[in-house]
Chains A and B, each alone.
Chain A
Amino acid sequence: MNIADLRHYSIEEYKKAYRSKEFTPTAVTRVFFDRIRELEGDIHAFLAIDEEGAMKRARELEEKKISDTDFPPLYGIPIAVKDNICVKGLQATCGSRILRNFVAPYDATVVEKLKKAGVIILGKTNMDEFAMGSSTENSGYGPTRNPLDRERVPGGSSGGSAACVAALEAPLSLGSDTGGSVRQPAAFCGIVGLRPTYGRVSRYGLVSFASSLDQIGPLTRTVDDCITLFEVISGQDERDSTCAPYPPFSRNDIPKDEEIPKIRIGIPNEYFTPGVDPAISGRIREVIDLLVNKGFPVINVSLPHTDFGLESYYIVALAEASSNLARYDGVLYGFRKEGSFTLQEMYTRTRTEGFGKEVLRRIVLGTYSLSSGYYDEYYLKGMKVRTLVRKDFEASFQNCDLLLTPVTPCLPFRFGERSRDPYQMYLADVFTIPSAMAGIPGISLNCGYQDHLPIGLQILSAPFAEGKLLGFARYLEKLLSIPLPFPEKMPRKESL
């Protein structure tokens, strides 16, 4: 068996092969580590690789006697986890130098669930520092390269999680989405990325960037794998009071095949502006035409406050971030600037040296908008706009079930292309931010290629309507039949 044999394997197929003893979890895990060794030098999707722990775990799983009917849902499935999600005994740097020695002493709720479901954790993936960025260029440990074009960014902040799945260094991974950090890198790397409804997946053990926006989401090669992974990680958690009292997602929530064509599709005007790369809007128009031909009810809708989404997001998210990042002060864990300082100097030097430039910029912005005298003008206003953005979506879901939009206005860009101008970088998330502000779920689906660069289609639904969302996404995936990425080592662009 080699990695090329596994390029089309789904979770169900791995499990079938394990059951029939066609191959074993250790053999599969070994193949993935070989693949990681082959490609990591180019891609740098991982910040930490736990080969010893993973192989040990694979052997343990094999030794356990499991009846054919009682197979755990992710038995023997390797997975990569973003470095801002705590896995006991592994580092959790969040891509930041300030946490470079930090080893998580506990498992995040999602990790507990994954372990119970039988996964094998391969390692921790690269990310923009504290999930602040859209290209993984803000990692304190060097950027990740897009497996489909090594001169381009993989998106961010879950760039490592998206790249490792696209490169098949791991069959699936977990990322986190605050303003688009799962969907945008999934789009840039040509894979599937789901942002669940806010409160559908426990945040306990996810290092906070912006508490009211952060959600953990699956990154997978297929919608079906996304469904399986989402079933495992979703559900209420008594350790996270923002986690909704709602049962875990189940594939039984997905409408029956014959119900799918009745799903009403809305096309929001505000997502098809001249600022969108014509290759992207053109391809998505083609998909819409295809759906119309298939008899789907498609209507135009308007989300009038879309333009304010970005600005209000940066106010609310950064205000929360400025407070969430206060704990990295050099006292209890992480990096501390050593020297003979006063307490105040120790704080200042530790934080100035420990955080990267973008994180410092965001802390300053967030601190400013919470300061007395500015609170009403910025934070409070930002929260009010957020309500308007949410109401836009609520109104549109009166008339349709799902919204179809581009994930990003641009194709994967080159390194350095946007990192000099923060606002240009922020614009890469302009279509994923409003739905994050509204707390609604969204999925990113590869809907085609412009040359070798993937184009992401975003599907949004009302809160907790992931059943419809995933059912439709699976239908569309089959309809479009876009080839899965399988990059070679250092390919030339022409070869893709």
Chain B
Amino acid sequence: MEKCYLTIGLEVHCQLLTKAKMFCRCGTDYIGKEPNSLVCPVCMGLPGSLPVMNRKAMELAIRTAMTLHCEILPRVIFHRKNYFYPDLPKGYQISQFDFPIGINGTLEFMGQGEKKKVRIKRVHVEEDAGKLVHEGLNIPSECSGVDFNRCGIPLVEIVTEPDLHSPEDARDYLTMLRSIVRYIGVSDGNMEEGSLRCDANISLSLTEKTMGVKVEVKNMNSFRSVYHALEFELSRQQKCLAEGKKLFPETRHWDETRGVTVSSRGKEEAQDYRYFPDPDLLPHTIEQVILNDIQSNLPELPLEKKERFMFDYELTETEANVLVQDCSLANFFESCIKELNKPKFIANWVITEVLKNLNDLRQDIQHSKITPAALMDLLKMVDRKEISGTIAKSVLEDMFQSGAKAKDVIAKKGISFMSNEKELEKIVHQIIEQNPQSIADYLSGKEKALHFLIGQVMKVTRGQASPEIVKNILNKELSAERSLCGPREPF
């Protein structure tokens, strides 16, 4: 088959992290709530109700647009997008049309080890719709209901130019975008829970210069499904073209269980949304002071942070990547190194032990019981060689579960520091007696043998001895041994 040119554009909707909905005062914490318990006349579109813009939502949208290097259009004009659907109680959605809050931005992301750039066409604000709930197993179901809890939650829509060229690119772009919206605190970006949603426009062409037929893919509910749906579409369209079949513009739905995209209504009956400025919401200009304030409070982004970590803390790219993927983890790490300036050592602990514990507990760092100070109390003991790494790991596990301080866990576990040299000396003597060969090796200059001996002591003490002290005692004993052997002539 000849070479094909793939073009992908993504439209991402993120729910904004506001306390109230976009145009009313209902709460936004709808997950797990009784259907239609977070509603009022406004978000239910009852006769006579009127929308009032949530300024906080606009600020979050502006923060998003600024982070994506967009040009900001501070004159906020909302349009009505008119169409009928049961989850849309007013018969129109309040959205932005020819004056989106941001235009012409860019986003950089790492795609298969390469730094890539996507142009952002527009960033705009709109309200979410309700959710249809179907009863029974039949399709069409005997009874459908609408839950309006989600209706009116503020969304920011981020539309790319068709700058992505592989399913991997799409997935990596999305990963970066999610990381960014979390970094700047505008959305929790949770695809499984629907707070981040993605539709894709995909087109395949036989020549590089022309665009193929645009097919829209919807209903992808995870990063994995975005990747698989696009991969499926790519091969389906390739096959079509190879067989000389004609592709036509359509909307296709990703069927997760069957792993295929299915054509829904063809796009030929194009919807006319009859956009017009919402007369219930007067045009509103965001003051320059507010824009300046948002601009000056933009946080450092993942890529910038990664580069800084590599440069300032001499971390490897892999280490830095792991630390910056979650902003609060990166902050946690940076708080730790303020207590002890050994970034490599701390990074290693955070990446392996801290993340392992978080994974086991299915927590993120913000919701865990460990504070940077608590971790550092422990790591300072490790650093001072007061306890071994093995012991520290088990202490840390306990700290994650109980939230107790390192000292208390150690006391509770009955771990003595084994700094009692007399006791250690006894054990060292025992080890020396049990390992004459190693002693001989050491005495004949094999330094490695010393490590073996330390290891043996640690084993006997079940890791409770301070390796540094063990080493000192061993050195002392062995040098005594050497002076004893020295003058002795072989028989």
A binds B: yes
B91 near A326: Cβ-Cβ < 8 Å? yes
Chain A residues with Cβ below 8 Å from B50 are 203-204, 239-242
- With the chains together, A204 CA to B92 CA distance in Å? 18
Nearest to A93 among chain B residues (CB) is B47
Known: A86-B48, A367-B274. A211 touches B280 (CB 8 A): yes
Q: In chain A, residues 344-389, which have Cβ atoms closer than 8 Å to a Cβ of chain B?
A: 347, 367, 370-372, 375, 379
Known: A333-B46, A347-B84. A323 touches B52 (CB 8 A): no
| Chain A interface size range | 35 or more
B48 near A212: Cβ-Cβ < 8 Å? no
Chain A residues with Cβ below 8 Å from B47 are 86, 92, 94, 99, 102, 104, 207-208, 327
Does A246 count as interface, using CB distance less than 8 angstroms? Answer: no
A241 near B48: Cβ-Cβ < 8 Å? no
With beta carbons under 8 angstroms apart, the residue of B48, B80, B92, B281 that contacts A205 is: B48
Does B299 count as interface, using CB distance less than 8 angstroms? Answer: no
- With the chains together, A92 CA to B51 CA distance in Å? 20
Q: How many of B's residues come within 8 Å of A, CB to CB?
A: 29
Q: List 6 tightest A-B contacts by C-beta distance, closest first.
A: A326-B91, A211-B279, A370-B274, A212-B279, A207-B47, A205-B48
| B396 CB to nearest A CB, Å | 52
- With the chains together, A209 CA to B162 CA distance in Å? 41
B89 near A331: Cβ-Cβ < 8 Å? yes
26 pairs, A vs B, C-beta closer than 8 Å: A85-B48, A86-B47, A92-B48, A104-B47, A105-B41, A204-B48, A204-B50, A205-B49, A207-B47, A208-B280, A238-B52, A239-B50, A239-B52, A240-B52, A241-B50, A241-B51, A322-B274, A323-B82, A323-B91, A326-B90, A326-B92, A327-B91, A332-B45, A371-B274, A372-B272, A375-B276
> Which of B146, B272, B275, B279 is most buried by chain A, counting CB atoms within 10 A of its CB?
B279
Nearest to B270 among chain A residues (CB) is A372
A104 near B45: Cβ-Cβ < 8 Å? no
Nearest to A372 among chain B residues (CB) is B272
| B367 CB to nearest A CB, Å | 36
A320 near B279: Cβ-Cβ < 8 Å? yes
Does A74 count as interface, using CB distance less than 8 angstroms? Answer: no
| A144 CB to nearest B CB, Å | 21
- With the chains together, A326 CA to B93 CA distance in Å? 11
A323 near B146: Cβ-Cβ < 8 Å? no
**Extra contacts besides A86-B47, A326-B82 (6): CB < 8 Å:** A99-B47, A242-B279, A327-B91, A332-B44, A332-B146, A347-B84
- With the chains together, A104 CA to B80 CA distance in Å? 25
Q: In chain B, residues 86-102, which have Cβ atoms closer than 8 Å to a Cβ of chain A?
A: 86, 89-92
Per-position contact with A for B259-285: 1 when CB-CB < 8 Å, else 0? Answer: 000000000000010111011111000
Known: A105-B41, A323-B82, A329-B84. A208 touches B91 (CB 8 A): no
Chain B residues with Cβ below 8 Å from A205 are 48-49
Q: In chain A, residues 184-211, which have Cβ atoms closer than 8 Å to a Cβ of chain B?
A: 203-208, 210-211
Does A436 count as interface, using CB distance less than 8 angstroms? Answer: no
> Which of B50, B80, B90 is most buried by chain A, counting CB atoms within 10 A of its CB?
B50
Chain A residues with Cβ below 8 Å from B146 are 331-332
A326 near B84: Cβ-Cβ < 8 Å? yes
Nearest to A344 among chain B residues (CB) is B84
Does A319 count as interface, using CB distance less than 8 angstroms? Answer: yes
Chain A residues with Cβ below 8 Å from B46 are 105-106, 333
Q: In chain A, residues 304-360, which have Cβ atoms closer than 8 Å to a Cβ of chain B?
A: 319-320, 322-323, 325-327, 329, 331-333, 343, 347
Nearest to B284 among chain A residues (CB) is A241
Does A108 count as interface, using CB distance less than 8 angstroms? Answer: yes
Known: A327-B89, A331-B86, A370-B82. A104 touches B48 (CB 8 A): yes
Chain B residues with Cβ below 8 Å from A92 are 47-48
Chain B residues close to A by CB (< 8 Å): 41, 44-53, 80, 82, 84, 86, 89-92, 146, 272, 274-276, 278-282
- With the chains together, A58 CA to B49 CA distance in Å? 29
- With the chains together, A135 CA to B305 CA distance in Å? 70
| A73 CB to nearest B CB, Å | 24
| B99 CB to nearest A CB, Å | 15
| B138 CB to nearest A CB, Å | 14
Chain A residues with Cβ below 8 Å from B44 are 332
Chain B residues with Cβ below 8 Å from A203 are 50
- With the chains together, A148 CA to B278 CA distance in Å? 41
Chain B residues with Cβ below 8 Å from A86 are 47-48
- With the chains together, A319 CA to B80 CA distance in Å? 11
- With the chains together, A108 CA to B48 CA distance in Å? 8
Chain B residues with Cβ below 8 Å from A319 are 276
Q: In chain A, residues 101-122, which have Cβ atoms closer than 8 Å to a Cβ of chain B?
A: 102, 104-106, 108
A370 near B282: Cβ-Cβ < 8 Å? no
Q: In chain A, residues 456-496, which have Cβ atoms closer than 8 Å to a Cβ of chain B?
A: none
Chain B residues with Cβ below 8 Å from A347 are 84
A242 near B282: Cβ-Cβ < 8 Å? yes
Known: A238-B52, A370-B276, A371-B272. A329 touches B282 (CB 8 A): no
Known: A205-B48, A326-B91. A242 touches B82 (CB 8 A): no
Chain B residues with Cβ below 8 Å from A370 are 82, 274-276
Chain B residues with Cβ below 8 Å from A102 are 47
Chain B residues with Cβ below 8 Å from A375 are 274, 276
Chain B residues with Cβ below 8 Å from A332 are 44-45, 89, 146
A327 near B90: Cβ-Cβ < 8 Å? yes
B82 near A206: Cβ-Cβ < 8 Å? no
- With the chains together, A372 CA to B280 CA distance in Å? 22
Chain A residues with Cβ below 8 Å from B275 are 370
Known: A86-B48, A326-B82, A371-B274. A241 touches B280 (CB 8 A): yes
- With the chains together, A329 CA to B86 CA distance in Å? 8
- With the chains together, A106 CA to B48 CA distance in Å? 10
- With the chains together, A204 CA to B25 CA distance in Å? 15
With beta carbons under 8 angstroms apart, the residue of A84, A239, A343 that contacts B86 is: A343
- With the chains together, A240 CA to B274 CA distance in Å? 24
Nearest to B89 among chain A residues (CB) is A332
Chain B residues with Cβ below 8 Å from A241 are 50-53, 280-282
Chain A residues with Cβ below 8 Å from B89 are 327, 331-332
Q: In chain A, residues 220-265, which have Cβ atoms closer than 8 Å to a Cβ of chain B?
A: 238-242
| B189 CB to nearest A CB, Å | 30
Chain A residues with Cβ below 8 Å from B274 are 322-323, 367, 370-372, 375
- With the chains together, A117 CA to B178 CA distance in Å? 52
- With the chains together, A105 CA to B46 CA distance in Å? 9
- With the chains together, A328 CA to B138 CA distance in Å? 28
Chain A residues with Cβ below 8 Å from B272 are 371-372
Chain B residues with Cβ below 8 Å from A372 are 272, 274
Known: A105-B46, A326-B92. A379 touches B276 (CB 8 A): yes
- With the chains together, A106 CA to B47 CA distance in Å? 10
Chain A residues with Cβ below 8 Å from B84 are 326, 329, 347
A207 near B48: Cβ-Cβ < 8 Å? yes
| A79 CB to nearest B CB, Å | 18
B91 near A329: Cβ-Cβ < 8 Å? yes
Chain A residues with Cβ below 8 Å from B45 are 327, 332
Nearest to A367 among chain B residues (CB) is B274
Nearest to B82 among chain A residues (CB) is A323
Chain B residues with Cβ below 8 Å from A325 are 91
Nearest to B41 among chain A residues (CB) is A106
- With the chains together, A86 CA to B48 CA distance in Å? 7
B92 near A323: Cβ-Cβ < 8 Å? yes
| A250 CB to nearest B CB, Å | 25
Chain B residues with Cβ below 8 Å from A333 are 46
Chain A residues with Cβ below 8 Å from B86 are 329, 331, 343
- With the chains together, A315 CA to B354 CA distance in Å? 65
- With the chains together, A323 CA to B46 CA distance in Å? 14
Chain A residues with Cβ below 8 Å from B279 are 210-212, 242, 320
Nearest to B25 among chain A residues (CB) is A239
Chain B residues with Cβ below 8 Å from A99 are 47
Chain A residues with Cβ below 8 Å from B41 are 105-106
> Which of A104, A204, A331 is most buried by chain B, counting CB atoms within 10 A of its CB?
A331
A204 near B276: Cβ-Cβ < 8 Å? no
| B91 CB to nearest A CB, Å | 2
